[in-house]
Structure 1
């Protein structure tokens, strides 16, 4: 089983509700996975509201931190309240790697601008699989095996239009690992 990075766009009122009501977030998103990205639950449908970095999330975090990105696009910024495992509903399993985090609309705009200014070539410039393995970047076994960074660049380039669209619409982003 792999750890996947996921994002969902939230309107400002949805972000406020997510901050107040962790059970709502858990009920809406459940145990999201890349294989089941069609429907988000609770009436949320369509890939335009959801995006995944697959297993590239940690490499993206490492590479963007290395470049001094102003926003943590891989993990989000603000941790949302989390009901935790005690007494939590079925959705708690979705947060087995920690509670979801969010990016506010302003942070999404800042991130989208930083991403637009940083192409994939610059993102991975001067870094190879051995560097990621030494830094213990997930999935370490892939980097130790000499996996190419092309997949990381592809995920980054898929993420850019998603961030741009969210920024243009004034949306926040919910970010989580599952």
Structure 2
């Protein structure tokens, strides 16, 4: 079993409602999941980074870049554990600010000089993944997909609900 990083885009009204009504975020997640199969690729509200989340957070942190795009910022008040802790939020303005700091950072620049051995030595989750010669390609693919998703969220002025399960 792996820990998966998951995201849900929230409009400003949905974001505010999640803050005001404990438990509403879980209901909203379920409602959106029921609609997801009807959406085109550019309209998808959900995203996950599979088990790449920790490696991506490590790469961002080692460059002094905002890891809130991976982990969120504030815990969702009044909500329960969704698998590996309570969900976290990243407000629309904070997402835009973080993306401004990241700029158009390509994966090659993010991972410049990093080897799978370094990730293993740093005990980045999941440890056994760094033995795979394609581990960095796995992270690169997830970085590209995550950036596309984050850019879309910022374009819509959406915030994020982030959880691990």
Report the TM-score range of the alignment, normalised by the length of the smaller protein: 0.7 to 0.9
Paired residue for 1:72, among 50, 54, 68?
Answer: 68
Give secondary structure in 2 for the equivalent of 1:3: coil
CA–CA distance in 1 between the matches of 2:110 and 2:16? 33
Question: Residue by residue, what CA displacement relative to the aligned partner does 1:57-111 show, whole Å, maximum 9, x if unpaired?
Answer: 0001111111111352111011112443xxxxxxx5xx12011111111111122
User: Partner residue of 2:33?
Assistant: 40
CA contact (8 A) 2:75 2:87 kept: yes
Residue 140 of structure 1 pairs with residue 127 of structure 2 = yes
Aligned 1:1-178 pairs, distance under 5 A: 1-29=1-29, 40-41=33-34, 43=35, 46=39, 48-84=44-80, 95-178=82-165
Counting helix residues as a fraction of each chain, which structure ranks higher?
2
| 1:139 positional shift | 0.8
TM-score by length of 1: 0.81
Flag structure 1 segments of 5+ consecutive residues without an equivalent: 31-38, 85-91
CA contact (8 A) 1:79 1:102 kept: yes
Flag structure 2 segments of 5+ consecutive residues without an equivalent: none
Give secondary structure in 1 for the equivalent of 2:68: coil
Aligned residues: 160
Give secondary structure in 2 for the equivalent of 1:9: strand
TM-score by length of 2: 0.87
CA contact (8 A) 1:115 1:160 kept: no
